[in-house]
Amino acid sequence: MTHSPGARRLGRAIALGLVLCATLGTTSATASAGPPRPHTPDLGPNVTVFDPGMPVSEIQATLDAAYARQVDAEMGTERQAYLFKPGSYGTPEQPLQMKVGYYTEIAGLGASPTDVRINGKIEAYNRCLADGGTGNCIALVNFWRTLSNLSLTVDAAGQDGCRASANFWAVSQAVSMRRLDITGGGLSLMDYCTAGPQYASGGFIADSRLPATTNGSQQQWLTRNSEIAGWSNAVWNQVFAGVVGAPDDATFPDPPYTTLDTTPVSREKPYLYVDGKGRYQVRVPAAQRDTRGVSWANGITPGRSIPIEDFFVARPGDSVRTINSQLARGKHLLLTPGVYDIARSIEVKRPNTVLLGLGHATLTAVNGAVPLEVAGVPGVVVAGVTIDAGLRESPVLLRVGDRHGRDGGSAANPTTLSDVYFRVGGPHIGRTNIALEVNSDHVLIDHTWVWRGDHGVEGFTEGVNGDTERWRTNTGRYGAVINGDHVTATGLFVEHFQRYNTVWNGEHGTTVLYQNELPYDPPTQADWMNGDVEGWAGYKVGDRVRHHTLHGGGVYVFNQNNPSIHTENGFEVPRTPGVRLHHVMTVNLNAGTIDHVVNGVGEAADTTRVGAPVYVAQYPLP
């Protein structure tokens, strides 16, 4: 996540107002009024369910109030999900126009995206961080929001000329768009209606049918298994996998597109829906290989449906002992929105268990705990969960499998992590050795952001002394460590860790889009040394690995605490024909230097070429 040169990104923790009560539909007044209605789950106070019979003005007022609370609550504690039952919302006379703030999920409750139809707009705008909210307008800190499983007919009625020109989704990391069908107007991933600089950095779309899309200032982006009517431009690297209508990449890096005709391994994220009889279920899509286009083109997404009664529906006050007891009994786990303090591991031991979080449910490590342990069994799906480090160092925040060599996994039914995010520092001091550790074979990582926070609300003084204190206090050595074989990552975003951001030790690994920023805050070169080597590569493939593939990777440098610091290589991989990098780059963001792109190949990304990527189209070189 890059920023305006020289500008420090400051987080604000603003949590205002009372939590909205859930609107969970009506129940029959008496047993004699007719057959019993289907069970309506109690999803807690932080979930609001809308019915198409509700007045548009009431829905609009609820969403406007939520946005007012969350628009600046980057480091806040409120988590919310707003869910729409099947039906139509908004009219040409009264379109439903909503804006989405931090820690907010907007989702339809249909079996297919076309079951929930919204006439209006669903948007995220730049945040303007200077001059009383009129200057330094960027999307670089627009994190943690989710939009999924609905159809949107863009209707800008009542908006001014610029705002009426597109549906704006100006975001960066930890933001996913899934299972969308957008018509009636264009989609813009850049907010060009505010003052500059209008930067945006990195995002994710999957399983969606989109209109002509303006990429604008988005530096790196992954679009997977979708259909697009057009794509405006690329900045540093735009990656497409299994996308109908994707641009050709034959002239890379002019323009810098990376296009795979199919996605090697995919599984769409589980989603909550209401079936034709009013019953709540969770759809768990099946894993696929070499796929292209949306999963719902010919009906409901292939997979299985699990009744909500088979889930333990947890709230933040529930103990881990209770959660583990329910999991051991064979229940799946639904985490309702909120912040959960985790002093002992949540343990997922049974094959095919589903752990689904709503509204960016957050697990915070307490007393050095490992918040989530997934056993080396096939078919586990973890989705929609954020994991925060705590004050005492955790050895790891999420571990999949005990240790490599014992957990074979399943190629046909891989354990899958979808929209699973990690944070070390930010709302509070955080410490971990490793954020994500994958030991099992055949694991799919489908969109993750693994972030050692470069800003937050810890109260450190700014400037060199403050940044030095951050380096010593918010500690995270490794972001992602992949030890399992046949692991695939689609959308791997890892940033600011103090040694290797990503270490890939397993054989036959594949990454489709990698985005990394090296840490901003090493105090001296001596603090940023790997033995005799200056710095730690942003992406490291283990020395013994013989087969590995990366499509579309970027490593950025902004050593703002000490601009004289050097990093020898952005990527470090074994020199062997089976390890291949396709379309990789390094970028200087106005401080520090990366001397080479990969293994001594590629020119220096230094301050003579700020913002201009250094590309290596193929490694090993042809």
Catalytic residues: 517
In 311-430, the DSSP E strands lie at 311-314, 332-335, 339-342, 346-348, 354-365, 372-374, 381-388, 394-400, 415-424
Residue 66 CA to residue 92 CA, distance in Å, equals 24
Reading the block at residue 264, the tokens are 């090697």
Strands 614-619 and 203-206: unpaired
Residue 576 CA to residue 574 CA, distance in Å, equals 6
From the list 510, 498, 503, the residue with the least C-alpha distance to 535 is 498
Angle, CA 113 vertex, CA 306 and CA 126 arms, to 5° = 115
Distance of CA 364 to the CA centre of its chain: 17
Q: CB neighbours (10 Å) of residue 18?
A: 8
Residue 421 CA to residue 609 CA, distance in Å, equals 32
Q: CB neighbours (10 Å) of residue 341?
A: 18
Instruction: Give 312's contacts (C-beta < 8 A, 6+ positions apart).
Output: 323, 326, 327, 331, 332, 333, 334
Q: What is the dihedral of CA 189, 195, 197, 200, to 10 degrees?
A: -20
Residue 537 CA to residue 330 CA, distance in Å, equals 42
Side-chain-side CA neighbours of 154 within 13 Å: the count stands at 22
In 412-508, the DSSP E strands lie at 415-424, 431-438, 443-452, 475-482, 488-495, 502-504
Instruction: Give 291's contacts (C-beta < 8 A, 6+ positions apart).
Output: 225, 242, 262, 263, 266
366 burial (CB, 10 Å; 0-12 / 13-18 / 19+) is middle
Is the Cβ–Cβ distance between 156 and 124 less than 8 Å? Answer: no
Residue 271 CA to residue 376 CA, distance in Å, equals 24
Type of residue numbered 107: A
Q: How far is CA 557 from CA 9, 140, 421, 518, 551, in A?
A: 16, 16, 22, 5, 20
Q: CB neighbours (10 Å) of residue 230?
A: 12
- Could you write out the three-class secondary structure of 186-249? CEECCCCCCCCECCECCEEEECCEEEEEECCCECEEEEECCEEEEECCCCCEEEEECCECCCCC
Residue 72 CA to residue 69 CA, distance in Å, equals 7
The H-or-E segment that residue 319 falls in is none
Residue 154 CA to residue 562 CA, distance in Å, equals 46
Q: CB neighbours (10 Å) of residue 608?
A: 10
Q: Residue 64: helix, strand or coil by DSSP?
A: helix
